[in-house]
Amino acid sequence: MPKVTEEHLAARRQQILDAAAACFAREGFHRTSMTDIVRECGVSAGLVYRYFSSKDEMIAEIVREWHAHRAVALRSGDVAENYLGLLREVGTADGPDPRLALQVWAETVRSPEMRALARSGVDSVRQAAGAVGELPDDADALVRVMVAVYQGLLVQTAWDEELDNAAFVDAVRVLLERVKRGRV
Amino acid sequence: MPKVTEEHLAARRQQILDAAAACFAREGFHRTSMTDIVRECGVSAGLVYRYFSSKDEMIAEIVREWHAHRAVALRSGDVAENYLGLLREVGTADGPDPRLALQVWAETVRSPEMRALARSGVDSVRQAAGAVGELPDDADALVRVMVAVYQGLLVQTAWDEELDNAAFVDAVRVLLERVKRGRV
Amino acid sequence: MPKVTEEHLAARRQQILDAAAACFAREGFHRTSMTDIVRECGVSAGLVYRYFSSKDEMIAEIVREWHAHRAVALRSGDVAENYLGLLREVGTADGPDPRLALQVWAETVRSPEMRALARSGVDSVRQAAGAVGELPDDADALVRVMVAVYQGLLVQTAWDEELDNAAFVDAVRVLLERVKRGRV
Amino acid sequence: MPKVTEEHLAARRQQILDAAAACFAREGFHRTSMTDIVRECGVSAGLVYRYFSSKDEMIAEIVREWHAHRAVALRSGDVAENYLGLLREVGTADGPDPRLALQVWAETVRSPEMRALARSGVDSVRQAAGAVGELPDDADALVRVMVAVYQGLLVQTAWDEELDNAAFVDAVRVLLERVKRGRV
DNA sequence: AATGAATGAGTTTTCATTCAT
DNA sequence: AATGAATGAAAACTCATTCAT
């Protein structure tokens, strides 16, 4: 069935990527074999390789999707509110699967490309926050702390789905308010 | 079949474990083959299996060592100071290799045992902090936020060795002081 | 379903065959994928299969072209001169690509059809030479030696484009003259 | 069964190499899968890779063995006689399998290493013949012709086991004698 | 106690070929 | 006539683990 629409192509690609993401989140990147992905997405092995040249490329693409999602979430409005929104999203269907984050991070250790990609995500957040301009000298360190909070929340959520996310976010909000008031 | 001293046994075990840790930190858990470890530690494959029943066991043992180290660091004195000390240690020879943490976390996704082990580390910190008793109702959430900060610092340090750790720790200290003052 | 001229068909076929030959000569028969050929000739995979039922068929067809070329070259005039002409052609644009010969020969090992085809080429030369009738009893062996010289020249030319072909041909001519004189 | 004698190791290596050579001669290099070789030599796939890092390395080693064999055969005594001895050997158990030669030659097309290896075989023969010193200016071309005769004989023998090798060799001997006489 | 040769199931990836459009 | 998406079997190669010595 050749000469197929662009939409079909894009849908196929997404179908494969979603299957891969599901497998990675469930079994881990390295415990997921291509065969697993093939089984999950229901197309042939050969076709998977028409869309992605390797497992590595799949996970890289997942990261890029994720960064795009976050960029949108932080784009406009109040930075602090947007940030808290991202925290709230963790562990829900709206946010990225925290277990995937752990898989990606493990790959950053051996792959410079992956590391660069992961860092670029943090860096863009730092820039976005800096651009708002309401923060003083030690701002960058503070932003990095807030990023760390987000990263740690991903870790903890990956380990415990029953986690009281709301209480965590509340604690962070209080913290942020103290910071603002302290600065006045 | 020569009988050998306890010290010899313990030293051998540590030698193998250190080699494994070095490999995991450098190449990642799954990209490290047993052959790599064997080459790194200079003993035979057979002997490695007399000390550790599997690769999984090695990484579990690495986590246990780490928890023990942290338990000591948090044992006595001011909780907040101890905590900041742990942060300061990140990325230095005294602290555990952050890249190893990322490897461990990836394994928690597919292995309930690893997940339980990793969670137990966080839980003991929560208990330790709770036991001190100086914290009010929302304390547990706050402790979890502080654990998240620590975890995120590990992530960021694994990605960037040039990171200004001191500024990060300072920002956290300021944050902690605000919290304390706020409560008074 | 447009009907198309015979010429168009023949041209298409030749276009595909030339692309295949170029790939085989460059990368070897088995290192050339159908995708490579498709890319080289600029038509679709499906269309290639309308002209050739398999990769094997392509190389068989290349051999047939080659035999036809040689039959023409040996058809009329002095056998010895024609033969030397063939030698001179080796490595030039007029003659077949020596690297292709090596590919064909490798296939003769596993395919009886290819072997029969290749042998038929030698046999027809032996017959052609015998038909001339100027050669005595040991003639057939001598013809086979001359064929061997040709085959060996293909091998050596495939390995070394800088080869001094002229000197080689001269040596053969001297040899042939000695043989003739010896017989008188 | 570790700590094994050097002889054991060498024997194992030869066992694998012989199995590979048998497969290559029977089915061709590319039609032979590693599984075929594993089946033929009766050891595990993993072990094969302990001795040879790839199929390519196997065939390269086969070529080296062959060159060594030929070097010995040409070492001392009358060059022409040694040469005729090599021709006589073709197709017998003493000489290398001609079908293997065709496999090797096909690989020279895509692999510079293989090409260099193959050429080095011819070059050492040219040097050996030149060293004898009884040949005049056009000697090198003549030597190359004789090498070509040998190569062509391999081709023809690979195609036809029933070939009258003796008649071929006789024809070559006559030719060589004419050359010598002609020079006096 | 220590070795390292040996295993074989499992991995990622390729590729000739088909067929719906 | 022509396309090229889709297949799936088979390829080369890896690696955690065992066990005879």
User: HEC string of C31-53?
Assistant: CCCHHHHHHHHCCCHHHHHHHCC
Nearest to A90 by CA among B60, C137, B148: B148
Which residues of chain B lie closer than 8 angstroms to A142, CB-CB?
171, 175
Could you give the CA distance from residue C109 to residue D70 in angstroms, rounded to a whole number?
Answer: 23
Could you give the CA distance from residue A162 to residue A176 in angstroms, rounded to a whole number?
Answer: 25
Fill in the DSSP letter of residue C54: S
Tens digits of residue pLDDT in C110-150: 999 999 999 999 988 888 776 655 555 568 899 999 999 99
Nearest to A2 by CA among C34, C47, C50: C47
Q: Is B182 in Cβ contact with A168 (below 8 Å)? A: no
Cβ atoms of residues A168 and B141 within 8 Å: yes
Residue D166's pLDDT is 94
Task: Write out the two tokens for B100.
Answer: 């190893």
- pLDDT tens digits in sequence order for chain D, 184 residues long: 567 899 999 999 999 999 999 999 999 999 999 999 999 999 999 999 999 999 999 999 999 999 999 999 988 888 899 999 999 999 999 999 999 999 999 999 999 999 999 999 998 888 877 665 555 556 889 999 999 999 999 999 999 988 889 999 999 999 999 887 765 4
Could you give the CA distance from residue C101 to residue B17 in angstroms, rounded to a whole number?
Answer: 58
Measured from the CB, is A4 under 7 Å from any atom of strand F? yes
Could you give the CA distance from residue B180 to residue C8 in angstroms, rounded to a whole number?
Answer: 87
Cβ atoms of residues A147 and B159 within 8 Å: no
Residue C1 has pLDDT above 50, yes or no: no
Using pLDDT thresholds of 50, 70 and 90, give the confidence band for residue B133.
low
The position carrying tokens 């709230």 is A88
Could you give the CA distance from residue B90 to residue B88 in angstroms, rounded to a whole number?
Answer: 5
Residues 6+ apart with CB under 8 A from D123: none
Residue A131's pLDDT is 62
State the average pLDDT over residues B146-163. 95
Q: Is D144 in Cβ contact with C168 (below 8 Å)? A: yes
| Closest residue to B149, CB basis, from A103, A152, A179 | A152
Could you give the CA distance from residue A30 to residue A32 in angstroms, rounded to a whole number?
Answer: 5
Residue B1's pLDDT is 46
When scoring B100, B110, B113, B179 by the number of chain A Cβ atoms within 10 A, the one with the most, hence best to mutate, is: B110
Q: What is the mean pLDDT of chain B?
A: 91
In three-state secondary structure terms, B42 is coil
Backbone dihedral region for residue B133 (phi beyond 0: left; psi -120 to 50: alpha; all else: beta): left
Cβ atoms of residues D126 and D140 within 8 Å: yes
Nearest nucleotide relative to A56: CA against C1' = E12
Cβ atoms of residues A157 and A91 within 8 Å: yes
Better pLDDT: C31 or B163? C31
| Nucleotides of strand E lying closer than 7 angstroms to a protein CB | 1-21
Which residues of chain A lie closer than 8 angstroms to B115, CB-CB?
159
In three-state secondary structure terms, B43 is coil
Which residues of chain D lie closer than 8 angstroms to C167, CB-CB?
138, 140-141
Better pLDDT: B155 or D1? B155
The Cβ-side half-sphere exposure at B74, using a 13 Å CA radius, reads: 23
Q: What is the mean pLDDT of each run of 10 residues along chain A (184 residues)?
A: 84 97 97 97 97 96 95 87 94 94 97 95 83 64 95 97 90 90 62
Nearest to B152 by CA among C137, D176, A105: A105
∠ at Cα B53 (B51, B56), nearest 5°?
Answer: 115
In three-state secondary structure terms, A148 is helix
Q: Which of A144-148, C46-50, C154-158, C160-164 has the lowest mean pLDDT?
A: C160-164
Which residues of chain D lie closer than 8 angstroms to C118, CB-CB?
159
Which residues of chain B lie closer than 8 angstroms to A153, CB-CB?
148
Smallest CA–CA separation between C182 and chain D, in Å? 8
| Closest residue to A150, CB basis, from B29, B119, B152 | B152
Query: Any alpha helices (H) in chain A, and if so which ranges?
Result: 6-27, 34-41, 45-51, 55-74, 79-89, 98-110, 112-132, 139-159, 165-183
| Closest residue to C30, CB basis, from D30, D160, D168 | D30
Closest residue in chain D to residue C114, using alpha carbons only: D159
Q: Is A142 in Cβ contact with B109 (below 8 Å)? A: no
Distance of CA C51 to the CA centre of its chain: 21
Measured from the CB, is C44 under 7 Å from any atom of strand F? yes
Query: Strand F contacts (CB < 7 A) among B residues 53-82?
Result: 53-56
Cβ atoms of residues B86 and B70 within 8 Å: yes
| Closest residue to B148, CB basis, from A25, A152, A170 | A152
The position carrying tokens 């948090």 is B74
Residue D18's pLDDT is 97
Better pLDDT: B23 or A137? B23
Run of H or E including D76: none
Could you give the CA distance from residue C104 to residue A168 in angstroms, rounded to a whole number?
Answer: 72
Fill in the DSSP letter of residue D4: -
Amino acid type, B93:
A
Nearest to A80 by CA among A34, A11, A132, A115: A132
Task: Write out the two tokens for A102.
Answer: 């752990």
Nearest to D118 by CA among D84, D70, D173: D70
Could you give the CA distance from residue A21 to residue A29 in angstroms, rounded to a whole number?
Answer: 9
Task: Write out the two tokens for D8.
Answer: 């054991």
CA-to-CA separations, A49 to A44, A52, A65, B26, C93, in angstroms, rounded: 9, 5, 19, 29, 39
